[in-house]
Structure 1
Amino acid sequence: MGLLAFKDAVHLVSRTGLGAEWDMIKQLEGRSQEDAVNWVLHSAASGLRPTPRMTPWLKLEPMRLNDMKTRNSAWSISQREGKLLQAWWVEQMLATHTPFIERMTLFWHNHFTSSIQKTLQPSLLYQQNLLLRRHATGNFAELLRAMARDPAMLVYLDGYQNTKSQPNENFARELLELFTIGRGQYRESDVKAAAKAFTGWGVDNNTGKFIIRPEEHASDSVTFLGKTGRFTGDDIIKILLEHPRTAERLTEKFWLEFVSNRPDPALVSVWAQQLRKSHYDIQRFMRTLLTSEPFWALQNRGTLVKSPVELVIGTLRTLPYPRESTQELLNLCRLLGQELFDPPNVKGWSGGEHWISTQTLLVRNAYLSKLSRGDLNDKSAAGVKLPNASEEQLVEWLLPVKPLQPLPTTPGARRLVRSLLLDPAFQVS
Structure 2
Amino acid sequence: MATYTPAHFRGDPLLPARGRHLVGRFSYGVTPALARQVRRQGGPRAWFDRQLSPGRVSDPGVAGLRDWWPSLSRQPAALWQRQVSGTEGGWEVMLDYERWVLMRRMTSRRQLLEVMTEFWENHLNVPAVGDAHFVHRTDYGDTIRAGALGRFDQLLHAAVAHPAMLVYLDNAVSTARHPNENLGRELLELHTVGRGEYDEDDVKDSARILTGWTVDMWDTWAPSYDASRHSRGTVTVMGFSDANAAADGRDLTRRYLRYLAHHPATAARLARRLAVKFVGDDPSDSLVDRLARVYLDHHTAIVPVLRALVSSAEFRDAVGAKVRDPGEDLVATYRALGVSVARPTTGKDAANQMLWQVADMGTMPFSWPRPDGQPIDNQSWSSPSRLLASMNAHLAMSGGWWPSEGITYRSPRSWLPQDRVRFDVLVDHLSQRLLHRRSTSRLLRACCEATGLAPGEVITRDHPLVKWGMPRLLSTFLDSPAFLTR
Q: TM-score range by the shorter chain?
A: 0.7 to 0.9
Indicate if the aligned counterparts of 1:335 and 1:363 stay in contact, CA closer than 8 A: yes
1:83 counterpart residue number? 95
Distance 1:134 1:111, change over 3 A: same
One of 279, 298, 306 as aligned partner of 2:324: 306
1:305 is paired with a residue whose SS is coil
Conservation of the 8 A alpha-carbon contact between 1:140 and 1:281? yes
CA contact (8 A) 2:208 2:230 kept: yes
State TM-score, norm by structure 2.
0.77
Equivalent residue number for residue 67 of structure 1: none
Which of structures 1 and 2 has the bigger CA Rg? Answer: 2
1:137-168 deviations in Å (ceiling 9; x for gaps): 11111100101111111111111111111110
In the alignment, the residues of structure 2 paired with residue 110 and residue 126 of structure 1 have an alpha-carbon distance, to the nearest angstrom, of 14
Alignment partner of 1:348 out of 365, 373, 377 = 373
TM alignment of 1:280-319, pairs within 5 A: 280-297=300-317, 300-319=318-337
| Residue type at the aligned position of 2:279 | V
> 5 Å matches for 1:49-198?
49-51=65-67, 52-54=69-71, 56-59=75-78, 70=84, 73=86, 77-198=89-210
Q: 1:392 to 1:303 in 2, by over 3 A?
A: same
Per the alignment, do residues 27 and 78 of structure 1 end up closer, same or farther by CA in structure 2, a change over 3 Å counting? closer
8 A contact 1:13–1:21 mirrored in 2: no
Match of 2:28 among 18, 23, 28: 18
How far residue 313 of structure 1 moved from its aligned partner, in angstroms, is 0.9
Identify if the C-alpha distance between structure 1 residues 419 and 62 changes in structure 2 by more than 3 Å, giving closer, same or farther.
Answer: closer
Structure 1 residue 427: Cα displacement:
1.4
Q: Which of 227, 234, 239 is residue 214 of structure 1 equivalent to? A: 227
Secondary structure of the residue that 2:280 maps to in structure 1?
Answer: coil
Q: Distance in 1 between matches of 2:43 and 2:29?
A: 21
Q: Which amino acid aligns with 2:371?
A: V
Question: For the Cα contact (< 8 Å) 2:262–2:299, is it kept in 1?
Answer: no
Q: Distance in 2 between matches of 1:222 and 1:301?
A: 47
Q: Displacement, 1:45?
A: 5.3
Matches of 1:233 and 1:40, distance apart in 2: 32
User: 1:390 offset after TM fit, Å?
Assistant: 7.5
2:483 to 401, 426, 429: 426
1:250 aligns with 2:260: no
Letter in 2 for 1:187: D
How far did 1:291 drift? 2.6
Distance 1:169 1:384 in 2: 59
For the Cα contact (< 8 Å) 1:41–1:283, is it kept in 2? Answer: yes
Determine the C-alpha separation between the residues in 2 that align with 1:196 and 1:344.
Answer: 25
One-letter code aligned to 2:411: A
Instruction: Report SS of the residue matched to 1:50.
Output: helix
Rounded to whole Å, the distance in 2 between the matches of 1:374 and 1:238 is 51
Is 249-258 or 225-234 further displaced after alignment? 225-234
Q: Which runs of 5+ in 1 are unaligned?
A: 65-69
Q: How far apart in 2 are the matches of 1:252 and 1:346?
A: 18
Q: Which residue of 2 aligns with 1:371?
A: 397
Q: How far is the alpha carbon of 1:220 from its aligned partner? A: 0.7
- Cα distance per residue 1:248-279 (max 9 Å; x no partner): 11111111111122211112111111111111
Residue 427 of structure 1 aligns with an amino acid whose one-letter code is: L
Per the alignment, do residues 421 and 341 of structure 1 end up closer, same or farther by CA in structure 2, a change over 3 Å counting? closer
Unaligned runs of 5+ in 2: 1-13, 245-251, 342-348, 402-409, 419-424, 449-453, 460-465
1:361-400 to 2 correspondences below 5 Å:
361-373=387-399, 381=411, 384-385=414-415, 391-392=427-428, 394-395=430-431, 398=435
SS at match of 1:329: helix
- Relative distance call for 1:115 and 1:45 in structure 2 (3 A) is farther
User: CA contact under 8 A between 1:399 and 1:420: conserved in structure 2?
Assistant: no
Whether the aligned pair in 1 keeps the contact of 2:153 and 2:262 (CA below 8 Å) is no
1:24 aligned partner, one-letter code: L
RMSD after superposition: 3.1
Alignment check: 8 A CA contact 1:15 1:258 kept: yes
1:335 matched residue in structure 2: 360
- Deviation, structure 1 residue 296: 1.6
- After superposing on structure 2, the runs of 4+ consecutive aligned residues of structure 1 that deviate more than 6 Å are 386-390, 399-402
Question: What amino acid does structure 2 have at the position aligned with 1:219?
Answer: R
CA distance in 1: counterparts of 2:82 and 2:476, whole angstroms:
53
Counterparts of 1:242 and 1:9, CA distance in 2: 33
Distance in 1 (CA, whole Å) between partners of 2:34 and 2:15 is 13
Q: Distance in 1 between matches of 2:105 and 2:119?
A: 14
Contact 1:105–1:133, Cα closer than 8 Å, also in 2? yes
Amino-acid identity (%)? 27
SS at match of 1:211: strand
Task: Tell me, yes or no, if structure 1 residue 42 matches structure 2 residue 53.
Answer: yes
Task: Report the CA distance between 1:301 and its aligned residue.
Answer: 1.2
Partner of residue 241, structure 1: 261
